[in-house]
Amino acid sequence: MSAKSPVYYNADAVRRVLNWPLVNEAVESALKAVVKPRDQKPPGSSFAIQPKRSFTACGDNSNKILFTMPAFVGNYSIASEESPGKVVSPRSTLACKLVTSFGGNPQRDPPLPSIHAHVLLFDNQTGQLSAIMAGTDLTTWRTVSASLVATKHLYFRRFGSLAETEREINVAIVGCGVQGQLHAAAFCEHFRVKQLNLYNRTEAKAQELAEQLQRELRGESATQIAVCRSAKEACQDADVICIATFSKEALIHIEDLKSKQGVHINAVGAGPGCHFSEVAPDLYRQAQVYVDCYANAEAELKGFPVPITAELGAIILDGNYPEKTAISVFQSMGAYSICQISLNLLHQPFIIKAISVFSKI
């Protein structure tokens, strides 16, 4: 008996089809699904089974690692792409994300990216492999989307349900690598950004991003963009801060924040062996900290200086937003169930024909 070959979506195909409405909705669905174990939810609720990610070193070389991230997300609903406003029947996704991190790749000739990611989608009835997707771009978009969703619910909603479309904000981007670049562009696209401050250890990279954004936003936005000489300078007047670096040392402290209240931080980077090295302990101690998934936080935030306030999905569901004057931190752990939902959406029949052309399959 022959089995149907899995569809392969290459990076080009993924890049052309990804869009913010699709990814943002997938992110919100996954964040809500991971809240509470299934046995504590009403029948028919969405749920996620997401084991701790595993780490496999290539021999004795800790600079070469394979990360394995399986997940099952059940009974989630997404608006129909074919009929806007209509919610399709609940669906479920079984998938596994595989990521390799080879730190020496950029020094190769020719250089290669240090991170490579793929997501495998399985038929959750038969267990057959249905699709393989190049996951690097999807991972980047997912991380930025989680910051957008966190900012909407942890910052804007404390000022009312319409604040994300009405309220002007100052944004600081600390770290202008791939994540910082997409964070900057996405925040300008989604929110009313009055001032955008950029800081990078190498100033030339921040200047390059500023020039790129000025070209892209010309005539479409009143956003003022500035390149700053320090993280402190970038953050001192910011309402929202996105920090995405691999710094081993804290880059922002409580004294760096404007009036030390009413600020939201998306912490998405990590130093080697530590997911929370970018933000100083004194800042964490005065903040309410939220994560995408308790299970990942318990496993990977060893030694974290304060208790976790809640999962972001719980805030989306119950509307228990921070006080207006609170400092909130979204400690992004990378809930891989989000990638699985996004992959399933891209794999739906209404999009397969288009994406297959780009994949040359």
The answer to whether 50 touches 38, Cβ cutoff 8 Å, is no
Considering the domain architecture, whether residues 284 and 219 belong to the same structural domain is answered as: yes
Q: What is the pLDDT of residue 22?
A: 82
**pLDDT of residue 129 exceeding 60:** yes
Q: The whole model's pTM is what?
A: 0.85
Q: What are phi and psi of 56, to 5 degrees?
A: -120, 115
Considering the domain architecture, whether residues 61 and 209 belong to the same structural domain is answered as: no
pLDDT bucket at 240, cuts 50 / 70 / 90: very high
Over residues 251-278, the pLDDT tens digits come to 999 999 977 789 999 999 765 556 788 9
Containing structural domain, residue 39: 7-139+337-359
Q: What is the pLDDT of residue 357?
A: 37
**pLDDT of residue 224 exceeding 90:** yes
Q: What is the pLDDT of residue 31?
A: 87
The count of other CB atoms within 10 Å of the CB of residue 173 is 32
Average pLDDT over residues 121-136: 89
Q: Is the residue at 154 inside a domain?
A: no
Considering the domain architecture, whether residues 253 and 200 belong to the same structural domain is answered as: yes
Q: What is the pLDDT of residue 235?
A: 97
By three-state DSSP, how is residue 289 classified? strand
Over residues 62-81, the pLDDT tens digits come to 789 998 988 887 776 665 55
**pLDDT of residue 250 exceeding 90:** yes
Q: What is the pLDDT of residue 354?
A: 38
On the 0-12 / 13-18 / 19+ scale of CB atoms within 10 A, 125 is exposed
Cis peptide preceding 110, ω within 30 of 0: yes
Q: Is the residue at 172 inside a domain?
A: yes
Considering the domain architecture, whether residues 113 and 193 belong to the same structural domain is answered as: no
Mean pLDDT of the chain: 84
